[in-house]
Chains A and B, each alone.
Chain A
Amino acid sequence: EIVLTQSPGTLSLSPGERATLSCRASQSVSSSHLSWYQQKPGQAPRLLMYGASTRATGIPDRFSGSGSGTDFTLTISRLEPEDFAVYYCQQYYSSPRTFGRGTKVEIK
């Protein structure tokens, strides 16, 4: 199965700062099959990005995604208070679907 490694594990930043989250795959993944999710405590994950760089419905444009092959990035240009959460990448290029272990973005 494809293992997704996310880094860093925790990102401590202040509102207004830029956040850069990494997701590295153990083998090449089609960018069409790479998604990002946001999860807040006590809530289900929410789809942020799919196809590596397409924002899901209702996701603000401060969120952007990029990457190809084995390296993908989620960028939050200016952190808003509601953006502090855990972010997961996920692939379905090959079965089984797999998720990364997550990056927690916390308030510094």
Chain B
Amino acid sequence: QVQLQESGPGLVKPSGTLSLTCAVSGGYISSSNWWSWVRQSPGKGLEWVGEIYHSGSTNYNPSLRSRVTISVDKSKNQFSLKLTSVTAADSAVYYCAKASMSVAGLPFDSWGQGTLVTVSS
């Protein structure tokens, strides 16, 4: 059973960069899964941010593409999110999630517990 754990600063200043890491345990990041970031705020509900495969291939939500970078570190079995030029609208609970390529439709079958990020000076 794969487990995911988010970590990173809970407070980011406006115009700064949000950086989060998701540690994967109980499985390998090099397995046949897509690794995603999903955020949830009261105003926008659940919003998919983007995903990465262990090869480094990425897909991003067009609404965030210009500000988002997702990367993978196979040596540490983790993947990361960077979101630049943040505003208060980026305040949310950020989840990392796994989608298995062995399941049609790539549903998210594992989630981290989530980490609250607040953008404020």
Residues of A within 8 A of B (CB): 1, 30, 32-35, 37, 43-47, 50-51, 56-57, 88, 90, 92-93, 95-102
Contacts and interface: CB of A to CB of B under 8 A. Distances in A.
Contacts of B106: 33, 92
Interface of A is mostly: loop
B105 A50 contact: yes
Interface stretch (B11-19, B20-28, B45-53): B45-53
A99 B111 contact: no
Contacts of B112: 44
A97 B48 contact: yes
Interface of B is mostly: strand
Given A96-B48, A98-B48, A47 B59 contact: no
Contacts, number: 67
Contact of A33 (B47, B61, B62, B104): B104
B45 A102 contact: yes
B47 to A, nearest CB: 7
* Interface size range of chain B in the complex: 20 to 34
A95 to B, nearest CB: 6
Interface string B76-100: 0000000000000000000101010
Contacts of A93: 105
Contacts of A46: 111
B46 A35 contact: no
Given A35-B105, A50-B103, A96-B62, A88 B111 contact: no
B66 interface: no
B60 to A, nearest CB: 8
Contacts of A57: 109
Given A88-B46, A96-B62, A99-B47, A32 B105 contact: yes
B108 A47 contact: yes
Given A56-B107, A92-B105, A99-B45, 5 more contacts: A35-B105, A35-B107, A45-B46, A50-B107, A97-B48
